[in-house]
Chain A
Amino acid sequence: MPELSTPYAARDHARSMHGARIDAMPTLPVSDAKNLPSDIERSALIWDETLAAGEYTSRVLTRGTRLRMINLQGDACAQFLVHNADRPFERLNVADTVKVQWNAYLGEGKMLLSDMGRVLMSITRDTCGTHDTFSGPSTEWSNAAKYGHGENYSPQPNARDRFLLSLLKFGLGKKDIPASLNFFKGVKIAEDGAMSFIDRASQPGNVLELRAEMNVLVSITNCPHVLDPRPKYTATPLRVIAYRGPLTTPDDPIRNAGPEAQRAFENVDDYFLR
């Protein structure tokens, strides 16, 4: 232990950490991002952060922003919530998302719908193809049953409490946690309704990219899936990158995927009219 008997010594000790780098951290300034995917313009970068197992992050993204999640080593689980950043009592509605699009499995070209008939974000790129709309977040008790502990202060934090911390920082609370999504981990539904966890749903480098169609608050945590049967708390790093992009154009393929999508985008256009 260092000898830190004066404020000056303590200050010097603290400052000696300046410039430290670890694998899982935010990049500031974001223009210093390393190993940037070649198709992303450095000048358009807004956010670059890597989450190790159990870590979480949240951020407001303005409409048009692209949010890319990269499953660096193939075993991340991106548990995900999205709210309307301007009026957070409008939020992701998983039931409407699957019902309106007539399919329970998410993938490229699908929309994430709010409870007010609008598209919050759309999936512009997906090289994984396996995601989960049914299971929701891991919980303190589901983690405790498998790993012995699940609290935020434990080494095995759970996604629900990560979401709560994320939302509390924006003045929100428990009431603001609806059913959530899991990206890069999937569940298969049998004809009789039985749910089975899909092992090895993703590969290293798999990408999911979302386009913000409204101003959104995204909450992301990289925690093992609630149905992941492994006794060891396992989630490999998840990289999160956001960059500026144009607003969705009238000829956009997701917007024109069907009448439901057309009307979801029309409702967004209508919302932003001024």
Chain B
Amino acid sequence: MVLFIVDLLALFAVYLVINIGLNIQQGITGIPNFGILFAVAGGAYITAGLSTRLTLALLGIQTNLNPVSDNVSVLQLVNPILRSQPIIAISLFILFLMIGGAAGAAMGLISSAPAIRLREDYLAITLLAFGEILNIVGQGYTPLIGGPPGVNLPDVLAWAGEYRFYAGSFVLLLVAIAIFAVADYIIKTPFGRTLKAIRDNETVARALGKSITQYRTVSILIGSTLCGIAGSLWVIYSGAITPTLARFDWTFLPWLMILLGGMGSNRGTFVGTLIFVTLDKLIIYYKYTFVGILPFDIIWLNYLLLGLIAILILIYRPEGIVRETQIKQRPSPESKKFSQG
């Protein structure tokens, strides 16, 4: 049971970061990014691809082994060192997150090219289609993550020894909460309000002298950076990756979570993610109870259930659990005088 909760918290942390990124784009700025898989996969694959090479370079290990194709033997060389050198391991962890963020930002830059030009329906189709590209590249270009079999990553959380599993979840959660706090702050700044203004009325925002294109691009960049970091968190936590990140897990579920929580509200995103990840994990946890009773794989029941939940939310509570609230502002002395007459 403890293991179940620890694992759940790690998954929650990863999805929280993605959903904050998606919420900034869709909820706050109104850009329907149906292709967040692109940024998540970018962060995950590029982090995984560079991780072993960077670790070798940083530790100054000379070897004839190929970091990708002789992955397992290289890691046997590297992991004991990481276990005994927590400082190097932690700096590598931070470096990996930065790589993930940079990769996500690069993918965001690519997606922003159509995003600032196209109408929302054309845009949604284009981004949805783009999401799959990195899986094709990951499978075809073996130096990245070794093609279909995938690669393992150096264990930068190995310093925790036997508590590695707990430490992993804890560190992930810490990163996610920090990102949540920063995002919550950004939304309240003039920048965040401008994004909301663009979403609510583009013409007015333009009339007030805001560059719509610039703000939309920055919003996509921030969102995609977060998705990239999440991808990197995910591969670091799971320790291995294959080029098979699915649109269901990394685009549909995040959309469902922010929809359930309430688009545009950061608190809603938090609540939606927590409820949803718990629900999803419980289904998988109790899956084995049903094996043998049902004549099919229970995972498909999960698809039916989640699709149905999404439709029910859309029809009966499209605003989600937490309604987006107006940003509270302390009234200035003048406005107080004005309201008193």
Tell whether A and B belong to one assembly: no
Chain A residues packing against B (C-beta within 8 Å): none
Chain B residues packing against A (C-beta within 8 Å): none
